[in-house]
Structure 1
Amino acid sequence: MDVALSERDPEGMRDRDERPVPPSALFRRLVLINGLVFTVGTLVLAVSPATVSSPVLVTEVPVLIIGLIVILAANALLVRSSLAPLDALTAVMQRVDLLRTGDRLSDKGNGDLAHLITTFNAMLDRLEAERSESSAHALAAQEAERQRIARELHDEIGQSLTVVLLGLKRTVDRAPEELREELHASQESVRACLDEVRLVARRLRPGVLADLGLHSALIALSTEFSQVSGIPVTRKVDSGLSGLSEDTELVIYRIAQESLTNITRHARASTVTLSLGEHGGRLTLSVTDDGRGGVMKEGAGIRGMRERALLIGARLTVTSSPGSGTEVRLLLPG
């Protein structure tokens, strides 16, 4: 890559490589601090009655040691105060997560490091914007692929199984009595397979969301969850929801769907509560269970929900205490 760049623009590369780098404000501050400490130390020695003989007398050694300790301590305190903002910046670097936006370091009162902190915050803004854009493209492609697979399952595999089921029905009607029981078993197996294909297709492409709206889609989702898992769901869905964009409705639906899926796989819950409504003037989705809780590490499912939340500027929180269940809360922008 470097060779290719130099071949295309050798003069530009030489200018960039040979351009002198100006000293940073932090470097100037450190030079100033050390110069000030040494200057003050020199003045103190010049005006003080302390003298040093040659060779140094034993009685003069403590004076030299004390003077050196004072100079080093003063220099350490001044440098420490100058570099203190770097510790806060390092802490932000260690905990920063592009899926948890808004974690920034204030540049006020940081003196010469304000430019560094401002640059770092701008870098985070740029990375979060790029991550959000790439996630939007990836999730859009994922939704398109889900719809394609759902159509193929419904139109091709579903219809093929339906044809097989009708053929089995005609065969059962004409079959001898001793073969009808086995054919009935085959017929039920095909019917169960057809139902499973339709269920998978509905999960991949929530047609009820586009046809009947978010309220009906969440009711259908929770009903289907109860039928499959055997866990009752208490629904508190506001029926007066309106003015939501298609992207917002899809994000809410997918996060509720993923939350219920995680409950089935991991929670060992006996009851679930799904609510969607206004709380404090902001639309909030909450999915709560009474399972084992204790979610310590976020897997792909939760991180996927966070990516979806960022697409609409919403905030996702997961509260999970051992033995106290788990709550997934989506707070939409006001």
Structure 2
Amino acid sequence: MRIATTDVPGISSSVVWGIAMFVGGVFAQIASALLWSYPSGSPVLWIPGGLLFAALLTAHARCWPACLLGFLLGLVAFGVLTGSGPAGMLMLGLPVVVLVPATVWFLLRIPSHDDPIDRWPCLFGFMAFGMVALPLLSAAVVGWLNDWFDLQDPRLQDWQNVALSHALGYTLFVPAWASIVLRGELLQKSRRGGAFDVVFFGLALAFTWYIWKWFGELAALQPVLLLMPAPLIVWSAMRYHLAGVCVVVLAIAMMAIYISETGQGPFYAGSVGVTTRVVQVWTMLVAALSLLLGQAMEQLSSIRMALNDTHVEIRKLAGQLVATQEQERARIARELHDDVNQRLASASILLSMLKRKPPEAAREGMTRLQGQLYELSDAIRQLSHDLHPSMLKQTGLADALRRLCSTERYHNGPAIDVDVRGDTENLPEDVSLGLYRAAQEGLSNAIRHAFAQQIVITLEVDSYFASLTVEDDGRGFDANYDNRGASKGLGLVSIDDRARLLNGKFVIYTGVGKGARLCIQIPLRQHYQQERRLHA
């Protein structure tokens, strides 16, 4: 449940938090008092604990002391204003101001991500500590303080009721605050439902209220009445996921508590104490199951969205693959037509001319013809090497890169340096091929598009990674592209795709007029393990 907060709050922020917690503590205690069971005075739901928990999730850690002080003063002020005893309120609040910050501090250190798939550890941590351990410890400490100071406060003596009321406060308010206020999920998801969902929600609550109030005493219908909110909870989970579930459960819990206080509804058990316990246990069970359902629906929705994104990416990559294939075919066709075919035609014309000359006069022409055929053979060999670099298997990646750079230097003229560091002889074949293709594309971009005059290729291999860097002094390009390759050329996209297939990373550092540096890094351990399994 990791929440982003402001970096360094000032004194004014702490004062604001302290005042807000003072006012919030007073009104939260008033709301809790309105939900207490009379005449026994047993608390059904204790809201201030959930308020403090939510505030500490939101506030910066430097504001926590102000929040805790304001919270305690608010409880004491309530005790003074209502005559219910400031000492009892202080005993009720002291364990909370110690245990709640410790619980929040622990939960904030559980690894979490924005992705709903990764929120399960946070949810289970909250359920274990916020819904079980924290209320039990608070109730135990409250009971011990009540006996130690001999307060004889009946509200504090029943530790089971204190634990359940605290647990309900945390269960109903903290997830709702985290999902609705902090992450803004309900506001984001409500745009697709609109007024219809609000009207449906209100009518469903009104119908539940009516059935519970007027038919709650029928023993034959009680199992059905207890499960009556289930369809509404499932609907909210499907429509609004965890945020919707929190709102629905909170509304249903308030409704169940109020109806039970009037001596009506399916939870009424004859006495106020037993009725309070029934409402608390039922609400806790419904809330816990609803949180799990809401998180499961959120995960399902996230997986569905991820699958849709994957399908879109696959279609995009398929289109890029077709375009790359056509581009490569066009390049080979140009090489054959503009180079190989022209040389063959030139050799054919020369051979025809030599036919008409006597043998002695044809000697010089034969030498020229032989030279052209050698050049033609070299061009065909280079074309074949570009399609499939056989030198990788024969001499290794380092020599293949040196040969590539030598050829490009000979044909295109720029100064190209190769710096090889580490043992490159035992690289896996797929890694060597991926790095070689990256170097090919990097050189092609630097020479043909950036018009670079100085290019440096660095290959570095250690026990963990193989890294290749292609750096040039060319004209560069706009670096305002996203890391998924939305604005890259097909060549750079192919490097990015190769890097991802090899579980590696591909980064470009460039700017207009600043040259470019292409960096690709491939982890080696997984590839070494795969090769060992293949050769085992």
**TM-score interval, normalised by the smaller of the two chains:** 0.5 to 0.7
Give yes or no for the alignment of 1:217 onto 2:429.
no
**Counterpart of 2:404 in 1: which secondary structure?**
helix
**Alignment CA distance shift 1:245-1:127 (3 Å):** farther
Q: Which has the larger radius of gyration?
A: 2
Alpha-carbon distance, 1:295 to partner: 3.8
**CA separation of 1:193 and 1:215: change in aligned 2, threshold 3 A:** same
Q: TM-score, normalised by structure 2?
A: 0.35
Is 1:231 the counterpart of 2:414 in the alignment?
yes
Give the Cα–Cα distance (whole angstroms) in 1 for the partners of residues 508 and 463 of structure 2: 19
CA offset at residue 173 of structure 1?
8.5
Q: Cα distance, 1:229 vs. partner?
A: 1.5
C-alpha change, 1:30 and 1:306, in structure 2 (3 Å) is: same
Partner of 1:24: 236
Higher relative contact order structure (alpha carbons within 8 Å, sequence separation ≥ 6): 1
The CA deviation at 1:198 is 2.3
How far does the alpha carbon of each residue in 1:76-110 deviate from its partner, in whole angstroms, 9 at most, with x for none?
Answer: xxxxxxxxxxxxxxxxxxxxxxxxxxxxxxxxxxx
Give how far 1:196 is off: 2.4
Which string of whole-angstrom CA distances, capped at 9 and with x for unpartnered residues, describes residues 106-148 of structure 1?
xxxxx956752575258638966995xx98xx79xx7xx99xx
Distance 1:323 1:280 in 2: 36
* Secondary structure at the counterpart of residue 332 of structure 1: strand
For residue 357 of structure 2, what is the aligned residue in structure 1? 175
Structure 1 or 2: more helix by fraction: 2
- Structure 1 counterpart of 2:392, one-letter code: L
Query: Separation in 2 of the partners of 1:317 and 1:206?
Result: 25
Residue 503 of structure 2 aligns to which amino acid in structure 1?
Answer: G
Which stretch has the larger CA shift, 289-298 or 185-194? 185-194
Partner of 2:477: 294
Contact 2:396 2:425 in 1 (8 A): no
Alpha carbons 1:215, 1:238 under 8 Å: kept: no
**Which amino acid in structure 1 is aligned with residue 488 of structure 2?**
E
Q: 1:35 to 1:273 in 2, by over 3 A?
A: same
The equivalent position to 2:434 in structure 1, one of 251, 257, 263, is: 251
1:196–1:295 Cα change, 3 Å: farther
What SS is found at the alignment partner of 2:523? coil
What residue in structure 2 maps to residue 310 of structure 1? 500
Query: Number of matched residues?
Result: 232
Contact map agreement 1:317 1:330 (CA 8 A) in 2: yes
Q: How far apart are 1:325 and its partner, in Å?
A: 0.7
- The structural deviation recorded for 1:323 is 1.4
Structure 2 residue runs without a partner (length 5+): 1-230, 256-292, 480-486, 525-536
The equivalent residue for 2:176 is none
Normalised by the size of structure 1, how large is the TM-score? 0.53
Name 2:450's counterpart in structure 1.
267
SS at match of 1:221: helix
Question: Aligned equivalents of 2:417 and 2:423: distance in 1?
Answer: 18
C-alpha change, 1:121 and 1:223, in structure 2 (3 Å) is farther
Whole-Å separation in 1 of the counterparts to 2:357 and 2:254:
105
- 2:493 aligned partner, one-letter code: R
Counterparts of 1:329 and 1:126, CA distance in 2: 30
Matches within 5 A, 1:100-115: 112=294, 115=297
1:217 is displaced (CA, Å) by 0.5
Calculate percent identity across the aligned residue pairs.
27
